[in-house]
Structures are given as C-alpha cells and as structure tokens.
Amino acid sequence: MAMESTGEYWKPVYNLLEGSFEILVVNAQHIKNVPGRKTDVKDAEWIAQLLQHGLLRGSLIPPLPQRDLRDLTRSRTNLVRERVTVVTRLQKVLEWANIKLACVVSDINGVSARRMLAAIAQGTCDAQSLANLAVGSLQHKRQELEQALSGRVREHHRFLIATHLSHLDFLEAQIATFDTQITQHLQSQSLSASAQLTEPSSLVTPAIPASSSTPTPLTWEQAVHLLDTIPGVARRTAELLLAEIGIDMSRFPTEASSS
C-alpha cells in the first residue's frame, strides 16, 4: 500500500494498517501529478499506478519505539526552548527595573541569582542584603552585586519576577519528568532487546561458532553510551541523536550504494 505524507493526516491511517500491510509513505513532491484537474480520486489512482510499476520510494518511518522516543525528546526540546524564552523575559523585566544582575552573574537562573530574585519578589529592597545571598565564587563579588542590585523595583516588577520564577520552576519540573520518562523508555527497550536475544527460538538453527564476526546488536542504552563518548555530545544530545536516526544504520545509503 502507498500513501502521501500529507502533514499529520497520514499517521492515523498508518497506525491502523501498520503490522498488517507493507506500507509506503511517499513524499508528495516526488509523486506530483500533472497540474490541473486534480482530485483526491485521481491522486489515489495515480499513486496506485506508480506503485504497480514499482516507481515509488518510501520515506523512512522509524519503528514504533523509536517514534515514541522521538516524541519524548522533541517535547523535551520544546520545553527547554520555552525555558530559555522565559529567562529572556525575566532579563527584560530586570532591565526595566534597572537591575543589572546579568552584568555580574553569568546565569540569572543559577542558584545565587534565583535566591536574590526570589528575595526581590518578596519585597526585599536593600542591595547589601540581596548581595549577601550570594553563594560560591560570587561571594567575592559582593561590591559589584550591590551596585548591580541597586535598581528601581516597583510592585509591578515584583509581580512579573515572581510569575517568571514560578514558570521556570514549572518548566524545570516538566523537563525532569521527561528526563525520567526517556530514561525509563530506553531501559525498557534495552531489556526487551536483550530478552529477544536470549529467548530460545522455536526453529532449529545451526550453532554460530564463537569466532564468528557477526556483531551483537546494540541495545538502546549501549547506543546512548557510545554516542555520549563523542566529544561535545552529552547524554541528552545522545538521546536526541538516537531518537532521530535510530540504531539500524543499514537503512541509510552508503557511499558505495549511492554511487
């Protein structure tokens, strides 16, 4: 069977037919019919004709576990981006209130900055008291902090600061929830793959010699660990890479196969 990959509309049909038929989801641009006199019926007939002649090339549709992982990692990425947006909004409010905290603190969402901002939102105005809330290496910058925290904060600013801090707390909790869910999903798929490898087959197959060069398939956790060893790639990025490209590299053309 073949269908066009039109937006999100192919997915419900694909979900119902997956596992029962061999389905090709093809790029609509590749099978574009002659312009004019276009109808859904004519498009369906054209796709069927191309399929009969073997002229269709299906798009890569990852297996269901990978699609689930992709949903999780992409949703987490959106939350991380939203967190960056909220931090930017918070910085704008501080600028409006003549608070130059970003000139001294590298991250206004860090521990010291969050303590100071929470105190400002609760009504603390004394710059010296706010600077004393610094921890770690920022304790040596109290004089700079006092200057940076001597602003013109109004009740309007305090409300906005408190709202943005609350939003950041919510996003942090959501991101942590997705981190946990992604880890559990990877572990469950790794356990499932390991069980399939150790499960005795009902068919009689010849024993593979110990010296055989056939590699053992990677589990998802092993793949994430290997990707994490790449310089500049942390675990979260490794999870993103795995969700987008999967483990089976044979689905992608090589230099030899494309030439």
Structural domain includes residue 167:
yes
Structural domain includes residue 215:
no
With a CB cutoff of 8 Å and minimum separation 6, the contacts of 241 are: 227, 233
Same domain, 43 and 80: no
Which residue type sits at 35? P
Same domain, 92 and 148: yes
Structural domain includes residue 156:
yes
Binned at pLDDT 50, 70 and 90, residue 34 comes out as low
Same domain, 164 and 94: yes
Structural domain includes residue 257:
no
Structural domain includes residue 11:
yes
Structural domain includes residue 47:
yes
- Identify which of 19-23, 29-33, 152-156, 216-220 has the greatest average pLDDT: 152-156
Over 50: is that where the pLDDT of 206 sits?
Answer: no
| Per-residue pLDDT at 32 | 72
Same domain, 78 and 23: no
pLDDT tens for 41-93 read 888 888 898 888 888 888 888 889 999 999 999 999 999 999 999 999 999 99
Give the structural domain span for 149. Answer: 73-174
Same domain, 145 and 110: yes
Residue holding tokens 């499960």?
199
Same domain, 88 and 164: yes
| Per-residue pLDDT at 205 | 44
Residue of 37 and 68 predicted with greater confidence: 68
| Per-residue pLDDT at 55 | 85
Same domain, 126 and 35: no
Over 90: is that where the pLDDT of 179 sits?
Answer: yes
Over 70: is that where the pLDDT of 199 sits?
Answer: no
Same domain, 86 and 138: yes
**Which of 118, 141, 174 corresponds to the end of one domain?**
174
| Per-residue pLDDT at 88 | 95
Structural domain includes residue 241:
no
| Per-residue pLDDT at 40 | 78
| Per-residue pLDDT at 54 | 86
pLDDT tens for 79-128 read 999 999 999 999 999 999 999 999 999 899 999 999 999 999 999 999 99
Residue holding tokens 């109808």?
39
Sign of CA dihedral 11, 14, 15, 16: positive
Structural domain includes residue 65:
no
Same domain, 86 and 20: no
Query: How many independent structural domains does the chain possess?
Result: 2
Same domain, 46 and 82: no
Over 70: is that where the pLDDT of 213 sits?
Answer: no
Averaged pLDDT of the chain: 87
> Quick one: how far is CA 6 from the chain centroid?
23
Binned at pLDDT 50, 70 and 90, residue 201 comes out as very low
